[in-house]
Amino acid sequence: MALKGFLIQRALNMAAILLITVLLTMAILGPSADAILKRAIEQETRTEILQNKELVGKFKDPGELEDYVKSQVQGRISSMGLNDPWYSPKRLWTIAIRVMTLDFGQSYYIRGYGGSSNVRDIILESLPRTVLLFGTATLLTAILGILIGAAAAKRAGSLLDKIVMGYAAISNSFPLWWIGMLAILLFSYTLRIFPARATPPIPPADPAYPAALLYHMALPLLTMVSMGFGGWAYMVRNLMVGVLQEDYIMVARAKGVPEGRILYGHALRSAAPPIVTMMALALSGSFGGAMITEAVFDWPGLGRLYWEAIGLLDVPVIVGLTYVSTLVFLLSVFMTDILYGILDPRIRIG
Amino acid sequence: MSALPVGSLWKEYRRYRSGLAGLALLASLLALSAMAIALVPLDAYGQWNNPSYWSEYPKAAPPAWVNYITGLKLPEHLVLKDPIIDRSAIGRVKVITHTFRFAFPYEAFPDDFVFKFSLKYGASPPLVELSAERPDGVRMLLARSAMPPRSEGSEARAYDSAIFSTDRNLRVNLANHLAERLGILASPDGISPERMIFAKGGPSMADGGTGVLKGDYAFQARFFLLGDQDDVISSSLVIGGKVFGLFGTDDLRRDLSVGILWGTPIALSIGISVAVLSALIGLAYGVISGYHGGRLDELMMRLNDVAYAIPALPFLILLALSLGRSLLYVIAYLILFGWVGIAKVARSAALQIKAAPYIEAVELLGASSWRVIFRHIVPQLIPYAIANIALSVPAAILAEAGLSFLGLGDPRVPTWGQILHDAQLHGAAARGLWWWALSPGMMLALSSLAFVMIGYALDRALNPRMRGI
Amino acid sequence: MGGLEVEGLRAYYFPADRPPIRAVDGVSFELKGGSSIGFVGESGCGKSTLGLALLRLLPSPGRIVSGAVRLDGLDLMGLTEGEFGRSIRWRRISMVFQGAMNALSPVYTIGHQLSEPLIYRLGLSKGEARRLSIEALEEVGLGGDLMDRYPHELSGGMKQRVMIAMALALRPEILIADEPTTALDVIVQAQILNLLKDLRERLGISIMLLTHDLGVISEIADAIAVMYAGEIVELGPSDLIYSSPKHPYTKGLMAAAPRIRGGSKIASIPGHPPDLGNPPKGCRFGPRCSAAIPACERPPPMVELGAGHSVRCWLYG
């Protein structure tokens, strides 16, 4: 099957979904954000002008002053492209195209560390930190979950198995952010091992920053991994139990293949495609939950940025972040399909 | 997909202890909901965001049962509203006595106390006298004050006032008490009324240096009223404690048991309604799409793909911000994201079933599409739908809790997530106010656990391959 | 070489809270070295369980309950798991499993799976093992180019041949073939059977064939054992069994086989096999037998009829 055709088709699919996402975001935000922004611009402009005594002094007639203020406000609004209603095709289209090509424009209120208002820069500043925390957490969770899940599958029905299943059920029920609060209570307040806020108190430019970041990452990472691997172990265990019942496992055993090879070679590899799917979806799904997790631990990543942007209704940042998260999700689905093909020879050919 | 009749499904389900435990947990949650509706007055719940309603409660007080666990017996917050009322007269003056008796077996002093009263008087302002009687028989005069005169007329009108433990005249009166009764000279500023009243006798009792005198106390208020129409309408005494109730209070003095108890039926309603409606919509969507096939199917599945790809949480937040956050809206948003998964599965099931020979036969016999769908396809999907619903409920409950935690919940309807939001806002975790964070989260976890266990057991009962493992 | 003696072998399955399933309930037979025996019977008669039991591969909750198995005089039941696994299984007795469709691991190449026993049991290097595996493929009539293919790329017949090559990797003395031709079309069936015959002649292995297909048996078996409900009901040289079947069940099987020049009607045996968790107290075929007599209330013993032919039926003793 033509790999190229497959790739192109998926890429087009992705593009379509991304476009719809952007348009939806703007549609939802449009009306309210616009009104608020216009009001804000008006207030800002008015204050600016009225505080400029020199300028005010030039107008004899209060009516004239008012007209001047209004025209200034209008000018600003036009220059920000807010003249047309939010649903006007011109606005929608230009913004949509720009967003798709990763040009998110300038933010309304939020500024980056160096004072930049370029949304892309702002996002890129926080992106690595989110990737660091969530990437590491997902990786560790997956590895731990796979190892424990495989071990439990091997001893299906045993005490270890029951404990693993029980733990999976329990850790799935507890919201991660609540456990985070408890973790802070225990480890920060009571035991004083970790800091209560996961944001290092020094600026990123400081040479001691990376070490501080890692230290501050410890508590969220620990919490996320210990709450996460249960679900993984459960899914891996169930997949593996099914696989271990297959005939070829018995044949391999009969042939004399050592148990370790059977478990991690024949069985795990066979179960690998769905596991990899899970991993890819977990990676991107965790971004969705990243907001709450980062809020609880106060981790300086994209999630917290998103939260700030929403609080301020900083539309360009919101649109940019929504796009990025959808993009990440779709890319991971895409990569999963490819990986699936690589791992499972049955899918590859024919 | 096998369709098990209900009877044998129950028999199979019964074999799983976890499933039974889940049902038991669910039953206790339902009982808790009933308790909440019966015991906690609805207006207490409705007043959640009204600070003045909670002014009599202590600030950030741990639950009362903490006293039984730790050694130190902290004073419980006492709200006394039913005094013993005595009426007598001295000549033309009516003397109405309100007496509050209470036990004080604690080992630490109260934070403060407030005596509130409501009078009705006309031209002649009454006199109020407050005194405290201790277990050792000593009586202390706390306050004696006249009410402000009326400016017009002699009509008896209502007047509300309060005597606070922080009022200066209390300290002056207590300083006099020390001087006259015990010969101790102390400056009024060195006296803490809430301590001295409850302190063992001795030179340093002015600030409680002698320790707490445990026993039965009585606070007595005497009202001297002159007019015929004059009367005392009501009075109450609040002894500010450090622990309160079953779940404690938060920084805004709110009794957490109200929020937690009432949160139960709210959470259950949200979870179940979202799960059931999502399942119904998803089922309908998937079956119709799969059965019709062709272009309609393609179109519907494209829509499904898009809905699947859209990141849920950011959009939930955007929707909540722009369109409104009332509880019904939140439920609608959650359903908007909830139908997607089950629709996909229902569709592939419909495709599979549609291909079966007996469907062809039924169609040839002239059955209409609706008949085929409802009599043949849907019944086979019901067991799967039930398991799906059971497992969706915790997701819905946690999703709402997450939204509320971020501050986007319905502000008029406090849910567990809301309580946790306030806790986070006030830095409960960092300040060690563990009871604020622990109970709401525990309730969330227990609710999820109940449905997860039920869902797991249902899953195993319905899926033959998983049985016995 | 390759002589097997089985006496009174019993293998049951013990499911939770249900009576044990007596899948193999007292089977005795002898397989002479270099010869072949075919076990024929309906599905569920216990032949697969018999094969798995002989290789100690019974899936839980199955267990060998009692019986004696001797390979060239060596008592196999006395060996520990480890000893059996090292010296007997796959080395001296090997098996081609039912449903070769699923007996090959989908994620490894044919070459890898053929090499596994050579590497893990004989300690050969990858290169040597590969060489021998190619030879094995050629032995079963396949090309060495299959070494790097995956199982899903092969047809049913090719997979079956690979299974046979894999089973013979360590040059066993006895090969148990469980339904080697099921799900294959007639032409491929014939090819596989020819292959088995050919291997028997060239390598001198004894073959134990388990099948429900009388036609397959007739091609390859020197002796036939007819199994019903966990027991052997008739045993003897194949020409004798074919020419003069004695047990009513055997007769029924013969009659049920469609013949090219026979009548148009196919006689079937009425009823169905008994529940092995609760088998009949007497002759297990009794309830279905048209020739049943009162004596059939008691379990019949195996009766010698001479010339190596025996039958388990009251009608004959």
CA B170 centroid distance within chain: 36
Between chains, do C103 and A344 touch, taking CB under 8 Å as contact? Answer: no
Instruction: Give the pLDDT confidence of C157-193 residue by residue, as tens digits.
Output: 888 889 999 998 888 999 999 988 877 888 888 888 8
- Determine which of B6-10, B24-28, C86-90 has the lowest per-residue pLDDT on average: B6-10
B186 confidence band (pLDDT: 50, 70, 90):
confident
A350 confidence band (pLDDT: 50, 70, 90):
very low
How far apart (Å, rounded) are the C-alpha atoms in residues A69 and A79?
Answer: 15
How far apart (Å, rounded) are the C-alpha atoms in residues B67 and B48?
Answer: 27
Question: Mean pLDDT over residues B301-327, rounded?
Answer: 80
Shortest distance, CA A251 to any CA of chain C (angstroms): 6
Shortest distance, CA A88 to any CA of chain C (angstroms): 54
Indicate which of C90, C105, C154 best probes the interface with A, i.e. most A CBs within 10 Å of its own CB: C105
Q: Which amino acid is at C176?
A: I
- Are B142 and B95 in contact by the 8 Å Cβ rule? The answer is no
Between chains, do C106 and A345 touch, taking CB under 8 Å as contact? Answer: yes
pLDDT of B223: 93
Nearest chain B alpha carbon to A330: B309
Is residue A27 predicted with pLDDT exceeding 70? yes
Is the CB of residue B445 less than 8 Å away from at least one CB of chain A? yes
B251 confidence band (pLDDT: 50, 70, 90):
confident
pLDDT of B466: 44
- Determine which of B5-9, B97-101, B448-452, C24-28 has the lowest per-residue pLDDT on average: B5-9
Question: Mean pLDDT over residues C103-127, rounded?
Answer: 89
Indicate which of A173, A191, A314, A324 best probes the interface with B, i.e. most B CBs within 10 Å of its own CB: A173
Task: Report the share of chain A in percent with pLDDT over 70.
Answer: 86
Instruction: Give the pLDDT confidence of B217-246 residue by residue, as tens digits.
Output: 999 999 999 888 888 889 999 988 888 888
Q: What token pair was written down for A125?
A: 């500043």
Instruction: Give the pLDDT confidence of B61-115 residue by residue, as tens digits.
Output: 888 888 888 777 888 888 888 899 999 988 888 899 999 999 998 888 888 899 9
Residue in A292, A28, A318, A183 with CA at minimum distance from that of residue B406: A292
pLDDT of B72: 75
Between chains, do A29 and B322 touch, taking CB under 8 Å as contact? Answer: yes
Residue in B212, B230, B217, B239 with CA at minimum distance from that of residue B99: B217
Work out the burial of residue A63: count CB atoms within 10 Å of its CB; fewer than 13 is exposed, 13-18 middle, 19 or more buried: exposed
Question: Mean pLDDT over residues A191-210, rounded?
Answer: 80
Question: Mean pLDDT over residues B397-421, rounded?
Answer: 86
Is the CB of residue A242 less than 8 Å away from at least one CB of chain C? no
C226 confidence band (pLDDT: 50, 70, 90):
very high
Is the CB of residue C183 less than 8 Å away from at least one CB of chain A? no
Average pLDDT, chain C: 87
B142 confidence band (pLDDT: 50, 70, 90):
very high
Q: What token pair was written down for A150?
A: 């495989």
Higher local confidence (pLDDT), C41 or B4: C41
- Determine which of A149-153, B188-192, B368-372 has the lowest per-residue pLDDT on average: B368-372
B residues 9-28 lying closer than 8 A (beta carbon) to A: 18
Chains that touch C (3 or more CB pairs under 8 A): A
Q: What are the phi and psi torsion angles at C304 (to 5°)? A: -75, 130
Instruction: Give the pLDDT confidence of A145-159 residue by residue, as tens digits.
Output: 999 988 888 888 788
Higher local confidence (pLDDT), B463 or C155: C155
Is the CB of residue A140 less than 8 Å away from at least one CB of chain C? no
- Determine which of A30-39, B62-71, B345-354, C30-39 has the lowest per-residue pLDDT on average: A30-39
In what helix (H) or strand (E) does residue B144 lie, and over which residues does it extend?
A: strand B139-146
Is the CB of residue C105 less than 8 Å away from at least one CB of chain A? yes
Is the CB of residue C150 less than 8 Å away from at least one CB of chain A? yes
Chains that touch B (3 or more CB pairs under 8 A): A
Is the CB of residue C149 less than 8 Å away from at least one CB of chain A? no
A45 confidence band (pLDDT: 50, 70, 90):
confident
A contacts of C95 (beta carbons < 8 Å): 254
Is the CB of residue B63 less than 8 Å away from at least one CB of chain A? no
CB atoms within 10 A of CB C39: 28
B1 confidence band (pLDDT: 50, 70, 90):
very low
Is residue C208 predicted with pLDDT exceeding 60? yes
Between chains, do B441 and A156 touch, taking CB under 8 Å as contact? Answer: no
Between chains, do B406 and A25 touch, taking CB under 8 Å as contact? Answer: no
Is residue B196 predicted with pLDDT exceeding 80? yes
Shortest distance, CA C56 to any CA of chain A (angstroms): 9
Is the CB of residue C106 less than 8 Å away from at least one CB of chain A? yes
Is residue A1 predicted with pLDDT exceeding 60? no
Is residue B342 predicted with pLDDT exceeding 70? yes
Between chains, do C103 and A247 touch, taking CB under 8 Å as contact? Answer: yes
Q: Which of A28, A33, A175 sits opposite B398 (nearest CB)?
A: A175
Shortest distance, CA A194 to any CA of chain B (angstroms): 11
Between chains, do C150 and A257 touch, taking CB under 8 Å as contact? Answer: no
A contacts of B452 (beta carbons < 8 Å): 169, 172-173
Is the CB of residue C104 less than 8 Å away from at least one CB of chain A? yes
Average pLDDT, chain B: 84
Shortest distance, CA A60 to any CA of chain B (angstroms): 43
Query: Three-state DSSP class for A321?
Result: helix
**Which ranges of B366-433 would DSSP assign to H, the alpha helix?**
369-371, 378-405, 416-425, 428-431
Question: Mean pLDDT over residues B162-186, rounded?
Answer: 87
Between chains, do A329 and B309 touch, taking CB under 8 Å as contact? Answer: yes
Strand residue runs (E) in chain C: 4-13, 21-31, 36-40, 62-71, 74-75, 93-96, 174-178, 206-211, 223-228, 231-237, 303-306, 309-311
Kindly report the pTM of this predicted structure. 0.71
Between chains, do B437 and A289 touch, taking CB under 8 Å as contact? Answer: no
Indicate which of A14, A19, A24, A178 best probes the interface with B, i.e. most B CBs within 10 Å of its own CB: A178
Q: ipTM of this predicted complex?
A: 0.80
Instruction: Give the pLDDT confidence of A141-196 residue by residue, as tens digits.
Output: 989 999 998 888 888 878 888 888 888 878 877 888 888 888 888 888 888 888 87
Task: Report the share of chain C in percent with pLDDT over 70.
Answer: 96
Average pLDDT, chain A: 79
Indicate which of C54, C58, C92, C107 best probes the interface with A, i.e. most A CBs within 10 Å of its own CB: C107
Is residue C314 predicted with pLDDT exceeding 80? yes
pLDDT of A87: 67
Residue in B461, B455, B460 with CA at minimum distance from that of residue B393: B455
Nearest chain A alpha carbon to C56: A254
Question: Mean pLDDT over residues B168-178, rounded?
Answer: 89
Nearest chain A alpha carbon to C108: A266
Instruction: Give the pLDDT confidence of B257-298 residue by residue, as tens digits.
Output: 888 988 999 999 999 999 999 999 999 898 888 888 788 888
Between chains, do B448 and A238 touch, taking CB under 8 Å as contact? Answer: no
A207 cis-preceded (ω within 30 degrees of 0): no
pLDDT of C264: 61
Residue in A300, A317, A304 with CA at minimum distance from that of residue A204: A300
Is the CB of residue C122 less than 8 Å away from at least one CB of chain A? no
C contacts of A250 (beta carbons < 8 Å): 57, 59, 97
Is the CB of residue A346 less than 8 Å away from at least one CB of chain C? yes
A contacts of B344 (beta carbons < 8 Å): none
Q: Which of A238, A292, A330 sits opposite B406 (nearest CB)?
A: A292
Between chains, do A258 and C120 touch, taking CB under 8 Å as contact? Answer: yes
Between chains, do C106 and A346 touch, taking CB under 8 Å as contact? Answer: yes
- Are A251 and C100 in contact by the 8 Å Cβ rule? The answer is no
Strand residue runs (E) in C32-166: 36-40, 62-71, 74-75, 93-96
Nearest chain B alpha carbon to A16: B306
Shortest distance, CA B43 to any CA of chain A (angstroms): 28
A contacts of B271 (beta carbons < 8 Å): none
Q: At what angle do helices A119-130 and A315-343 cross, to 10 degrees?
A: 50
Instruction: Give the pLDDT confidence of A265-320 residue by residue, as tens digits.
Output: 888 888 887 787 777 667 666 666 677 888 888 888 888 888 778 777 787 788 78
Shortest distance, CA C284 to any CA of chain A (angstroms): 31
B358 confidence band (pLDDT: 50, 70, 90):
confident
Is the CB of residue A62 less than 8 Å away from at least one CB of chain C? no
Residues 6+ away with beta carbon under 8 Å from B341: B282, B308, B388
Between chains, do A248 and C166 touch, taking CB under 8 Å as contact? Answer: no
Nearest chain C alpha carbon to A270: C107
Candidate ranges A172-186, B139-153, B211-225, C295-309; pick with highest mean pLDDT = B211-225
Higher local confidence (pLDDT), A1 or C175: C175
